[in-house]
Structure 1
Amino acid sequence: MSPTTEPLTAERILAATEEVLRRHGPAKATVVDVARALGVSHGSVYRHFRTKAALREAVTKRWLDRTSDALAGVAAAERDPGERLRDWFWTLFEAKRHKAGDDPEMFATYQVLAGESGEVVGEHIDELTGQLTGIVAAGVASGAFTAPDPAATARALFHATGRFHDPGYAGEWTRPGVEDEFTAVVDLLMRGLRA
């Protein structure tokens, strides 16, 4: 890539880092490679991200935020809490399935990065269970759900559906019948929540 007159921003660096990771993989990608792709010195990259680990963590957060942002719209919708809950889980399942199936090499890269970024992953899970808590609390307030502790219920729902969003299960997400299995699990959870 040739040098550009565009200002060097964290967003540009993260986009370039994703491309470098796609080309070289997580084991071989370096900050120098990112700087070269941007047409800047590696010191310029370090002015935005103090270490290679910080850069990799920021890329992981950016990747996870795409899923969180898509789910936030579903969680905030003004509709029946039961429909919102179903849609939220379906959106999560589809987002993870697409990430794994549409670009398996990049998905594998992000699995490596997520393994290095425990704090970022923990914050992501907290954000997702926070969204679920809001849906469950809305269901309790409307009388549709029974849940004495919406936050604990949200965490239980998240963990109960882990097979359909935890990257460790990605190999199962394309199996025939997986949508039926997903629907059966969500139906069971919904019956348990009904007041």
Structure 2
Amino acid sequence: MPPTSETLTAERILAATEEVLRRHGPAKATVVDVARALGVSHGSVYRHFRTKAALREAVTKRWLDRTTELLAEIAGATDRDPEARLREWLAALFAAKRRKAGGDPELFATYSVLVGDAGEAVSAHIAELTGQLATIVRDGVQAGTFAVDDPQTAAHAVFQATARFHDPNYAKEWERPGVLGEFEALVDLLVRGLRA
């Protein structure tokens, strides 16, 4: 292994892990492969991530967080109309998932496998996304735009109703002709249901 001049950080390990996963897939990628890509011993990787499962959980969380961070900006834009924010948030979620599936299909397939194994990361991701939706709905209720008794329940319902446009199990449908029209029709229906 060639010596590395850069300090080994968790972020460098996660970036290398992503590349190794892209190259080898989740079934064949090992911690030794990650270490080799970084030019360090596998023990150095284990100092940051105690197990292969912990490393996979962390790389999955990192991948999911990219979407969460993008959507947090929309959810937090309290100077904008809640209905417009809701529409933009849902559209941004769908666009982000489509980009991931179409832009790097090998890595998307890899993460689809890893997500099944990363229970805590996925649960936290879904909780964060529904929390963002609840913020938008709550702001809509306060502004008189939406009329719901429980913003958290309404947000959960909106998230579940739009699953076809963000759940990786539906990725093959996202490039079908007419899918954007179907998405917009569903969002229109949901917004009408939330309105005062």
Name the TM-score, length of structure 2 as normaliser: 0.98
Instruction: Tell me the amino acid that sits aligned with residue 122 of structure 1.
Output: S
Instruction: Tell me the amino acid that sits aligned with residue 71 of structure 1.
Output: L
Partner residue of 1:162? 163
Q: d(CA) in 1 for partners of 2:116 and 2:143? A: 39
Instruction: Tell me the amino acid that sits aligned with residue 45 of structure 2.
Output: V
Number of residues paired by the alignment?
A: 195
Deviations 1:43-67 (A, max 9, x none): 0000000000000000000000000
Deviations 1:68-126 (A, max 9, x none): 00000110112000000000000000000000001111100000000001111011000
2:37 matches 1:31? no
Q: d(CA) in 2 for partners of 1:116 and 1:32? A: 20
Q: d(CA) in 2 for partners of 1:130 and 1:183? A: 22
Q: d(CA) in 1 for partners of 2:143 and 2:27? A: 50
Instruction: Tell me the amino acid that sits aligned with residue 174 of structure 2.
Output: W
Partner residue of 2:41? 41
Partner residue of 1:151? 152
Instruction: Tell me the amino acid that sits aligned with residue 84 of structure 1.
Output: R
Name the % identity. Answer: 73
Q: d(CA) in 1 for partners of 2:143 and 2:176? A: 37
SS in 2 for 1:40: coil
SS in 2 for 1:145: coil
Partner residue of 2:12? 12
Partner residue of 1:74? 74
Displacement, 1:4?
Answer: 2.2
Point out where structure 1 has 5 or more consecutive residues left out of the alignment.
none
Point out where structure 2 has 5 or more consecutive residues left out of the alignment.
none
Partner residue of 2:54? 54
Name the TM-score, length of structure 1 as normaliser: 0.99
Partner residue of 1:128? 129
* Correspondence 1:69-148 to 2 at 5 A: 69-77=69-77, 78-148=79-149
Instruction: Tell me the amino acid that sits aligned with residue 74 of structure 2.
Output: V
Displacement, 1:2?
Answer: 4.3
RMSD (Å) for aligned C-alpha atoms: 0.8
Q: d(CA) in 2 for partners of 1:62 and 1:76? A: 21
Instruction: Tell me the amino acid that sits aligned with residue 21 of structure 2.
Output: L
Q: d(CA) in 1 for partners of 2:184 and 2:94? A: 11
4+ residue stretches of structure 1 with deviation over 6 A? none
Q: d(CA) in 2 for partners of 1:135 and 1:3? A: 50
Instruction: Tell me the amino acid that sits aligned with residue 44 of structure 1.
Output: S
Q: d(CA) in 1 for partners of 2:82 and 2:9? A: 39
